[in-house]
Amino acid sequence: MDYDYLVVGSGLFGSTFAYEAARRGKRVKMIERRNHIGGNIYTENIEGVNVHKYGAHIFHTSNKKIWDYVNQFAEFNRYTNSPIANYKDEIYNLPFNMNTFNKLWGVVTPQEAKAKIEQQKIDAKIGEPKNLEEQAISLIGTDIYKKLIKGYTEKQWGRKATELPAFIIKRLPVRFTYDNNYFNDKYQGIPVGGYTQIVEKMLSSEMINVELGVDFFDKKEEYLKQFPKIVYTGMIDQFFDYKYGTLEYRSLKFETTVHDQENYQGNAVVNYTDADTPYTRIIEHKHFEFGHQSKTVITKEYPKTWHKGDEPYYPMNDKKNNEMFSKYRKLADQTPSVIFGGRLGMYKYYDMHQVIGAALSVVDKEFS
């Protein structure tokens, strides 16, 4: 069969592109290095629980078009992410909100909370924040920084908070209301029955042929000759043979166990924010879908240094790496037969809704 496209990677970017191309009558060959489709949103049923195999995934967006788009492929429940933080057995609500401030300082009104934060900011002499530590203190003061941010952040990224970009902490809302919703977005939920069905539906067309367990780099030159156009969602530096150096990533180890009890921790996500606990969070998957199975499945998430060959979960978007990425991006612009996309192809800390949005923009351009 003659194909119009080769799509490398069956994650949300590659699958959205393949679905839209097939809808337009294009023939798509997809290759995937892993032995399953879905990339990092893959969920697997264990003991009747949909387990997020590559970390907790909560869909959230304020974009109605993207919300409607993803709802074509699954029904979403009303799950609202409200993680709790465990700091040496003291429990705090996240994101940083009046419940957190009340537990920590005994303050009751937003004015009291703001005054407390302002005083801590003045005492710490923070001007224009230049790194994650300064950004965090300027947003919520030193007490919260020390108990809920420093330990978690330095474990997660393997670097001092003073050596990390400020934008990472801006992902989290700071609120002066008693609202534990982790996201500010209009729409949020978990697909009833897990995420894998979304990708299965996207790839169900007979115009799409998927081959699992195949690495693009085993036959790169052959693929480049054989396919008129390639959509590539792997690591951009690897595509260009690390010509300008190796981009840095952060990797993770997931330790999943089944427990013979109904309820292990009472919440889907519990963050361990001290420096000594080696994992950053424990996920109890059943709570994403309000499950009442007799057993429960939990996953401990351990951050780890990334070496070539490990799974590259997070791009390290600091100045040095972003500058290196810009050089790769220029090369990509000079390679019109290849579309680079997704978290690894764009080297961006993208959430799912942003990946779908980016894929739909590429689709618009490609088929306009």
165 forms part of the interface with ligand FAD (CB under 6 A): no
Burial class (CB in 10 A: 0-12, 13-18, 19+), 248: buried
Question: Which 79-118 residues touch ligand UDP, going by CB under 6 A?
Answer: 85, 94
Residue 335, classified by CB atoms within 10 Å of its CB into exposed (0-12), middle (13-18) or buried (19+), is middle
CB of 171 to ligand UDP, least distance (A): 4
Residue 321: which H helix or E strand, with range? Answer: helix 319-333
Shortest distance, position 150 Cβ to ligand UDP, whole Å: 7
Q: Which residues contact 344 (CB under 8 A, 6 or more apart)?
A: 9, 233, 234, 235, 236, 312, 315
**Count of residues near ligand FAD by CB under 6 A:** 34
Is residue 95 reached through a cis peptide bond, with omega within 30 degrees of 0 on the bond before it? Answer: yes
CB of 209 to ligand UDP, least distance (A): 33
Which of 43, 97, 142, 156 lies at the binding interface for ligand UDP (CB under 6 A)? Answer: 156
Hey, which residues are catalytic here? 171, 175, 250, 281, 301, 349, 351
Q: Which of 30, 70, 74, 172 binds ligand UDP (CB under 6 A)?
A: 172
What is the secondary structure of 70-138 as a DSSP string?
HHTT--B-------EEEETTEEEESSBSHHHHHHHH---SHHHHHHHHHHHHHHTT--S--SHHHHHHH
CB-nearer residue toward ligand UDP: 52 or 116? 52
Q: Is 135 in the site for ligand UDP (CB under 6 A)?
A: no
Choosing from 144, 148, 203, 356, the residue that interacts with ligand UDP (CB under 6 A) is: 148
**What is the amino acid identity at position 325?**
F
Binding of ligand FAD by 20 (CB under 6 A) = no
> Site residues (CB under 6 A) for ligand UDP?
85, 94, 148-149, 152-153, 156, 168-169, 171-172, 271, 273
> Site residues (CB under 6 A) for ligand FAD?
8-14, 31-34, 39-41, 54-59, 215-217, 233-234, 313, 342-344, 350-353, 355
